[in-house]
Every structure is written in structure tokens, then in C-alpha cells.
Amino acid sequence: MLHVRFAETNGALIVTPLVRRLDAETAPDFRTTVGAAAAGRRLVVVSLSHVRAVDASGLAALVSVLQRLGPGGELRLAHAEPRVLALLASTHLDELFPSFDDATSALLA
């Protein structure tokens, strides 16, 4: 089961999944819950401060959420673990999901 915290700052949605893994078990709920909240938005920041691992299902869920954003919408990541960043780089998804040290930096970029 996915637990997630939502916050809004200047029209941007900040999403913090409160799980250790974004994987086959949690990704479907992430896609549904976060996708609905993100629909039509211009900026969504996903804080991975609690997430230690992401698998292919988690990556697919992030792509799905990105597709729900409004025209020109952007999904940015914050607090990603080095191995999550390495996975993004190896799949070239780092080009779709800019990553920042923290949510504040992601909002200001």
C-alpha cells in the first residue's frame, strides 16, 4: 500500500511517497494517486527522501505521471539516492526527470 504526502507551493505540487521502494508493489498506486493529483499541472516535484530503490515499474509510474501533466508540464525529482540517479542515467530518463538535491531547489530551477 502506498502512503504519500502532498503539498502545494505557488501552484506546484510536491509529492513525497512515504515508502522505501517504488516498485511493482507500490507503483500502481503511485501512478493512480499521483497521476490524478498531477493531472493538468505545470510542475510536479517528487521528493524521493524516503525512497531507497526504484525498479522498472517505478520508472514506468513516473513516466505515466509525467504524461498526465498539462502542456509543457515538468516532473522534477528531489532527494534521489545515488543508485536511483544511476538507474535514471542508464535508461536516459534523467533527460526527462531533472534531479535536484532538495525540493526547494527543484521548485526554483
Instruction: Measure Cα distances from 47 to 78, 101 in Å.
Output: 5, 10
Please, what are the domains in the chain?
4-108 (3.30.750.24)
Residue 53 CB partners (closer than 8 Å, separation 6+)? 20, 21, 22, 23, 81, 83, 84
Task: Give percent of the chain above pLDDT 70.
Answer: 99
| Global pTM value | 0.95
pLDDT tens by residue, 53-98? 999 999 999 999 999 998 999 999 999 999 999 999 999 999 999 9
Are 21 and 54 a contacting pair, CB within 8 Å? yes
Model pLDDT, residue 63: 97
Strand spans (E) along 1-109: 4-9, 12-17, 21-22, 43-47, 53-54, 74-78, 99-100
